[in-house]
Amino acid sequence: MGRMEEYVTDTSLSQTLCNTAYPNLVLRCVVVDTVPLRRGEFSDERVFTAIGSISPPSPNHAGSCKKLIRINFYGLWGMAAAFMDPGDVIILHGFYRLDAPSRRETAGKPPSSTSSIFLCPLREQEGCVMRVLQPAKTGEVMEVLVTPSNMDAICVHGLPTSDTANHFYMRQCLTSASVQQ
């Protein structure tokens, strides 16, 4: 029997340190928006950004998600991840917590508590693997295994029914999306 993955929560992710690698943590979040593949803001590398929420959006989700997560996929990771759309679920095993870009804050006031948490995947050589769950037209949940080295032969299959936690999470995301439309 396979072991159950334990995912970071809003609270546990907020307590991680910036500029630190977390090879043993697993992030699961629903994509709420994407920023297309583009030239990086701080380097010549291309970057794709997925903006996500650990808590699936729901009709009464106000306050359920403390902070949005911005996952920057640089270089080959950016090309490998650029197929994602809002509503997809990312499961990222191994990531690096980035410092948030600095913003000018009003003197004497604390930084906004609603700012995003910035992450990027670890290098593939460090064991990082990304799975993306997408709804299929047949009602199944498709799982796409993505790494920069398998872009020519991406692994896609139906999510096993034994993975009840991710089936439930995906159903929550799909139900929330249909209610919001």
pLDDT in tens, 142-158: 999 988 888 777 788 88
C-alpha 145/C-alpha 111 separation (Å) is 37
Q: Encoding tokens for residue 24?
A: 């043993």
On average, the pLDDT of the chain sits at 81
First-to-last C-alpha distance (Å) of the chain = 39
Tens-digit pLDDT profile for residues 153-176: 778 888 888 888 888 888 887 776
Say how many C-beta atoms besides its own lie within 10 A of residue 116's C-beta. 15
How high is the pLDDT of residue 59? Answer: 47
Tens-digit pLDDT profile for residues 42-86: 778 899 999 999 876 544 444 455 689 999 999 999 988 999 999
CB 118 within 8 A of CB 97: yes
The three-state secondary structure class of 114 is: coil
Tens-digit pLDDT profile for residues 113-142: 447 899 999 988 888 889 999 988 887 889
C-alpha 85/C-alpha 112 separation (Å) is 28
Tens-digit pLDDT profile for residues 80-120: 899 999 999 999 999 999 987 665 443 433 444 447 899 99
How high is the pLDDT of residue 62? Answer: 44
The per-type count for the chain, helices as H runs and strands as E runs, is 3, 8
Q: Encoding tokens for residue 74?
A: 């640089």
Does the domain at residues 10-101+113-180 carry the CATH identifier 3.20.20.30? Answer: no
User: Taking CA 15 as the corner, what is the angle to CA 2 and CA 73, rounded to the nearest 5 degrees?
Assistant: 70
C-alpha 43/C-alpha 32 separation (Å) is 25
How far from 3 is each of 22, 162, 172, CA to CA, in Å?
A: 19, 11, 23
The three-state secondary structure class of 82 is: coil
How high is the pLDDT of residue 92? Answer: 95
The three-state secondary structure class of 21 is: strand
